[in-house]
Homo-oligomer: A and B are copies of this chain.
Amino acid sequence: MDTETAELRLLEAAETLFDERGVQAVGMDAIRTASGVSLKRLYQLFPSKDHLVWAVLKRRDGAVREAIAAHGATRADTPYTRALAVFDYLGDWFADPGFRGCAFINTFGEMGGISPDVADIARGHKQALRQYFAEQTDALGAPRELADQLAILANGAMVLAGIEGSAEPAVRAKDAARVLLDAAAPR
């Protein structure tokens, strides 16, 4: 196995395990077993568990940003529909078996108080989502506060979908987002 695939398998295995059980409840040995990569190589690629956690979150951060942009670009062609398309993306995501909430929200809750790195990544990730909404609301000539409100809806939906184990919050949030969009920037 070459370095590239070893790193990929480690990141994928760690991400899955962290999502299922949280970060601290997952031992390095479990990651080694799930990935099939030896401890020696693991520590060559990621010199500590903190480095691995950081890399997992960073990779997920980029993937989510891309997925949201792609979702908006391919399925929606106006700022209005692009803003709403985020909630369709959430609905698909929530329907994943084993979905247990947003990794950034969960990891911040677990480690945000003791790990500034984790807190920074979570903050950056959430600001990127807000920024995406802001691009759409700016294009609509709506006030910036609307973007904040859409971000609040999206994050609230993630939390409740995770805790209740249901995809329904995505459609509820989308309906609410439509009402807010119409009120702030009527088509």
User: Interface of A with B (CB < 8 Å)?
Assistant: 19-22, 24-25, 100-101, 104-114, 119, 122-123, 126-127, 145, 148-149, 151-160, 162-164, 168-169, 172-173, 175-176, 179-180, 183
* B152 A169 Cβ-Cβ under 8 A: yes
Instruction: Name the 9 nearest CB pairs between A and B, nearest first.
Output: A156-B156, A106-B109, A152-B156, A109-B109, A110-B110, A155-B156, A149-B176, A148-B172, A155-B159
* B159 A173 Cβ-Cβ under 8 A: no
* A163 B126 Cβ-Cβ under 8 A: yes
Instruction: Give the docked Cα–Cα distance between A156 and B183 (Å).
Output: 20
Instruction: Give the docked Cα–Cα distance between A101 and B102 (Å).
Output: 14
Extra A-B contacts (13), CB below 8 Å, given A105-B105, A152-B160: A100-B112, A104-B163, A108-B162, A122-B163, A123-B164, A148-B172, A149-B172, A149-B173, A155-B155, A158-B159, A179-B179, A179-B183, A183-B183
